[in-house]
Amino acid sequence: MNLIIQGSDIQNNDLRAIAKLAQASRIDRITDEAFRMIDAQPQAEIPAYCEKANLDYAFVPAGKKLTDFGLISMDMDSTLLAIESIDEIADMHNVKPQVAEITQRTMRGDISFAESLTQRTALLKDLPQEALQKVYDERFRLSPGAEKMLKHVQSIGIKTMVISGGYTFFADRVKDRLGLDYAFANTFEVQDGKLTGQVLGKIIGSTGKGEILKKIREELGLSKEQVIAIGDGANDLKMLEEAGVGIAFHAKPILKEQATYSFNHIGLDGILNLFE
C-alpha cells in the first residue's frame, strides 16, 4: 500500500513524522506538493495528524495506475466549478440568501434534492433568460486544478462527464468549453423570455446521478472499478456508489464518510498524483 500526502505547504518534519507513523520504507517525491510513501500501513493517528498539518492523505494500492480507469464523472457546482451557479443566478434576482440557505440544507442532506431544486427554481420565477448568460459570462470560475486534471486525463483517453443537479444552460456550456464527453443536468422552463419557476421533466437528484453514471459506464463497457466519481454534497452519494473510486472534494461530512478519498486542501489535479 502507498500513502499519498498532498498539500500546498508540506514540511519535511511532517513528512518524516507521517512516514514513521505509517512505517513506510521510503518517501518518493511526486511534485513539490505531493509525496508517495512506499509500503505504508494505515494507522489511526494518521488522519488526525494530517488534518492538523493541513494535508490530504490517501492510501492507494501499489501499482494502481491512472490508465486503469476509463471514465471520470464529476458534479458541477462547487466541484468542477468553484461556484454554485443557482446561487449566482439568484443573486441576479435578489433572492440569493434564500436560495443559498436551501442549497446548504440540501448539501448537508437535511432535505431531499428534488424538493430543494423545486423550491429554489420557484424563487427564480420571472427572471429574464438573458440573466443566465450574464452569470456565465461574468461569474464562471473553474475549481483549482480542474483544467490541468482534465487535459491530462483526456490526453490518455479517459472519458469525462459532468452530472449536475443544476441546469443544462450551464452544464452544456461547460461541456463544450472543456471538451467533456457527456453532460447531464436539469432544464429550466422558459416562456416569453422569462423563467417560469418550473423544472422540465424528471429532476436529476442523487438517485438520478447514480442511474446516469451506471448507464454510461455500462454503455462504455467499463467495470465499476474503472470509474472515478467526484462530488461535494449529499446528492452525490449515489454517484460515488457507482464508482470504484469516490472522491469527496472540499465536501460536506456526509459525503466524506462514504468517499474513498477526501480532498480538503488540494485542487482537482490532486487526482493525478494518487496513481502511478
187 DSSP β-pair partners: 200
- How far out from the chain centre does Cα 276 lie? 21
Confidence of residue 108 (pLDDT cuts 50, 70, 90): confident
Instruction: Give the mean model confidence (pLDDT) for residues 120-143.
Output: 92
Query: Is the per-residue pLDDT at 221 higher than 90?
Result: yes
Kindly report the CATH class assigned to 1-62. Answer: alpha beta
Catalytic residue positions, numbered = 75, 77
CATH fold of 66-276 reads: Rossmann fold (3.40.50)
142 DSSP β-pair partners: 81
Are the C-beta atoms of residues 34 and 4 closer than 8 Å to each other?
yes
Task: Delimit the domains of the chain by residue range.
Answer: 1-62, 66-276
Give tens-digit pLDDT for 87-98: 888 888 889 899
**C-alpha closest to that of 1 among 29, 31, 18, 23:** 23
Cell of 181: 464527453
**pTM listed for this prediction:** 0.93
Give tens-digit pLDDT for 157-180: 999 999 999 899 999 999 999 999
Q: What pLDDT does 86 receive?
A: 87
For 90, other C-beta atoms within 10 Å of its C-beta total 23
Cell of 193: 423570455
Provide the strand spans (E) within the chain: 2-6, 26-31, 34-38, 56-60, 71-74, 159-167, 182-191, 194-200, 227-231, 245-249, 261-263
Q: What pLDDT does 61 receive?
A: 96
Give tens-digit pLDDT for 70-79: 999 999 999 9
Cell of 241: 456508489
Are the C-beta atoms of residues 266 and 33 closer than 8 Å to each other?
yes
